[in-house]
A = this chain, B = another copy of it.
Amino acid sequence: MIFYDCSSAPSPRLVRVFIAEKGIDIPTHQVDLRHGEHLSPEFRKINPYCTVPVLELDDGSRLTSTQGCWRYLEETFPDPPLLGGTPVEKAVIADRVWRIESDGWQAMTEALRNSTPGMKDRALTGAENYAQIPALGERGKLRSVRFLSHLDELLADRAYLAGDRFSAADILAMVVVDFAGWLKISLPAEAVHALRWYAAVRSRPSAKL
């Protein structure tokens, strides 16, 4: 396997932390997003969607989404489970991951990509250029702030996002909270449940990656 990563970017961090939590070691190739390596003809042959993470399997096939990479790693290295044990756990984690991606991750990428001068015409990741939409940037920022408050509600009655056990939902939410810092927003002081959870997940060795 080869893991195509970019150590400064939030998207591949989702897979980087997952790999660390599994306790495995995968040869890694750093893709230089800052200098546009992901848009080069060479990288387009690896991933025509021009994004990281990418996980290249031993048969040469490639997974080009966090969901695909996570699923392959979970099925191949089942311990510790990060996508759930029982059917209900698996379903609750899938539910949480979808929600956090939809209401947190997407809101923050919309906010960042539609408001940052250096991202002109890069309002979406991928091979195509799309112009920024300032109103979408503003909506993204509003939704991001709302999401951080909602995270507190989700954690009011449980240690981790899907219950008693650390899971991929916590990896995603941690990366989202750190990503919020790029927008200069953070968990509010009154979000005591989310702050307690954040301290716990940030204390794990994988969080430093």
Contacts and interface: CB of A to CB of B under 8 A. Distances in A.
Interface of A: 49, 57, 59, 61, 63-72, 75-76, 87-88, 90-92, 94-95, 97-99, 102, 128, 130, 133, 135-136, 139, 146
Nearest to A126: B103
A68 B98 contact: yes
Nearest to A91: B72
B130 A97 contact: no
A139 B136 CA distance: 12
Given A75-B90, A128-B146, A63 B135 contact: no
Main secondary structure of the interface of A (DSSP, over half): helix
The 7 A-B residue pairs with the shortest CB-CB distance in the complex, in nearest-first order: A68-B95, A75-B87, A72-B91, A71-B94, A65-B98, A67-B98, A67-B94
Nearest to A123: B139
Given A95-B64, A98-B65, A71 B90 contact: yes
Contact of A139 (B97, B98, B133): B133
